[in-house]
Amino acid sequence: MNREDKQRVVEQLHAAWSEASAGVVTHYRGLTVAEMGELRRKLRAAGIRMQVVKNTLARRAAEGTDFAVAEELFTGPTAIAFGDDPVGLAKALADFAKSNKALEIIGGVLDGKRLEKADVVSLASLPPREVLLGMLLGAMQGPVSGFVRALNEVPASFVRTLAAIRDQKQAA
């Protein structure tokens, strides 16, 4: 790889990492080409990119991005997955790592903060984004719907009282 190619790779990674909100650093030693292709297909389906890059180039590309906090993780055979959905990213890699022991999650980055392996695994155990949004919406609607039911109970109680009085007068 000549100097211009290396510079182009650094610029592309820098631009991609500047836009990404999350990334996971993995070691892929022992994965076959077919397994790596399968992993890339699964990640691509989730809107995630994975790049195998020399560690020195990764360190240069990380300068000035949120990924700079993960420079210590760039050792050994490094593959870096990145995207905008941190839960989907962590879940896809953790699921693949369960079935392929050769893929090892080293750590990650989330909004400029470094994550350890345990953090990435716990992030993978979260429900999908849509489910979390639904839970948040339900929690936000709970007090409002209770208030509406309480307000609705006042006229309903008044109507039931009038109906009881009418029934008493008709019976008498």
pLDDT at 6: 86
CATH class, 3-126 region: alpha beta
Asked if pLDDT for residue 129 goes beyond 80, the answer is no
pLDDT at 141: 85
pLDDT at 75: 87
Query: Rounded CA gap, 123 and 89, in Å?
Result: 9
pLDDT at 13: 87
Q: pLDDT by residue (tens digit) across 7-17? A: 888 888 888 88
Beta strands in the chain (DSSP E): 22-27, 49-52, 78-83, 104-110, 113-116
Instruction: Tokens for 86, please give them.
Output: 């941190």
Residue type present at position 28: Y
pLDDT at 88: 85
Instruction: Tokens for 58, please give them.
Output: 């990764």
Question: How would residue 45 be classed by pLDDT, with cut points 50, 70 and 90?
Answer: confident
Asked if pLDDT for residue 125 goes beyond 80, the answer is yes
Please state, rounded to an integer, the average pLDDT across all residues of the chain: 87
Inter-axis angle of helices 3-19 and 55-62, to 10 degrees? 50
Q: What percent of the chain clears pLDDT 70, i.e. is strictly above it?
A: 100
pLDDT at 112: 84
Q: Compute the average pLDDT of residues 41-64.
A: 88
Q: Where are the domains of the chain?
A: 3-126, 129-172
Asked if pLDDT for residue 82 goes beyond 80, the answer is yes
Residue 21 CB coordination number (10 Å):
15
pLDDT at 64: 85
Could you tell me which residues are beta bridge partners of residue 36? none
Could you tell me which residues are beta bridge partners of residue 49? 82
